[in-house]
Amino acid sequence: MKLYAISDLHIACDVNRRAVEDISPMPDDWLILAGDVCERESDLRWALETLRPRFARILWTPGNHELWTLQDNGHALRGEAKYRSLLAICRELGVVTPEDAYPLWEGGGGPAYIASVFLLYDYSFRPDGLPLEEAVSWAQTGGVVCADEHLLHPDPHRSREAWCADRVSLTERRLAAAQATRIPIVLVNHFPLRRDLASTPLIPRFSLWCGTRRTEEWHTQYNIRVVVSGHVHIRGTQWRNGVRFEEVSLGYPRQWQQSRGIASYLRQILPAPHSFESGQARIA
């Protein structure tokens, strides 16, 4: 019985979609899907219907791509309404979401709560001293503007930052309650928890859309054993204060080797592989 994780499947790409179809059943194991599976509700349903029978349990949290509003999808839900539509699909198929109770992992490396959370970002991964109102233009002068600026709507919240603030406050209360049990936590969020883990060397100013500084000390504030995230498409294992941080993205077809098969990109979270040593970084 093992706990695996992967993110950024991007099944709108045919190569990635076919690879998901080829994942062999692992009926004793759990699988974390840490966001950016797809953009459309119909594709999320396809992915979950494909994977759910192959694993004992699946846990999902949205990435920014799942929250996009695409005008060609028939009804064009926005913001919170789009998120709620995705939750409904997950619940219909028995998939754990950020709105559900944290399931207790009692396999190897346990016990541990698996806390899938949805936090978003608030543009605070910007240079010190740069005002919020200048952040997007700063990124644009560096040659990058995230598609979220056009496709990810915060409705009914007044802004993405306000939506993020609500999600962070909600999650802090839930983590505090879990902390009281003294059971360790595996925290799953699409976006990195720390600014120093949101580095994208080829497009450095993309960090603006990668998280919030409000979570940078969560790994020491709460009883967190492992943090799982995706989004930056740089797979690897890093350590902060004795806590393991796993970036588990697959990415677009150019970012992974199809000859290896997608199963080799499922990252084992629990029990911790023997090759992982505290303090040792590893880029996959």
Residues 6 or more apart whose CB falls under 8 angstroms from that of 201 comprise: none
What CATH number should be reported for the domain holding residue 29? 3.60.21.10
Q: Number of folded domains in the chain?
A: 1
Alpha carbons 5 and 79: distance in angstroms, whole number: 26
pLDDT digits (tens, 9 = 90+) for 83-131: 999 999 999 999 999 999 999 999 999 999 999 999 999 999 999 999 9
The token duo for 276 is 């992982």
What's the pTM value of the predicted model, to 2 decimals?
0.95
Share of the chain above pLDDT 90, in %: 91
Q: How confident is the model at residue 40 (pLDDT cuts 50, 70, 90)?
A: very high
Q: In this predicted model, what pLDDT tens digit does every residue of 1-39 receive, in sequence order?
A: 999 999 999 999 999 999 999 999 999 999 999 999 999
Place of tokens 């879990």: 178
Nearest to 146 by CA among 84, 93, 67, 214: 67
CA distance 100 to 113: 12
3-state SS of 209-241 is HCCCHHHCCHHHHCCEEEEEECCCCCCEEEEEC
Structural domain range at position 221:
3-283
The identity of residue 55, as a single letter, is F
Distances (CA, A) of 196 to 58, 151, 204: 29, 26, 11
Going by the DSSP 8-state scheme, the letter that residue 263 receives in this structure is G
In this prediction, residue 22 carries a pLDDT of 93
Convert the pLDDT of each residue in 243-269 to its tens digit. Answer: 999 999 999 999 999 999 999 999 999
Nearest to 262 by CA among 26, 1, 58, 2: 26
Please write the tens of the pLDDT for every residue from 45-75: 999 999 999 999 999 999 999 999 987 655 6
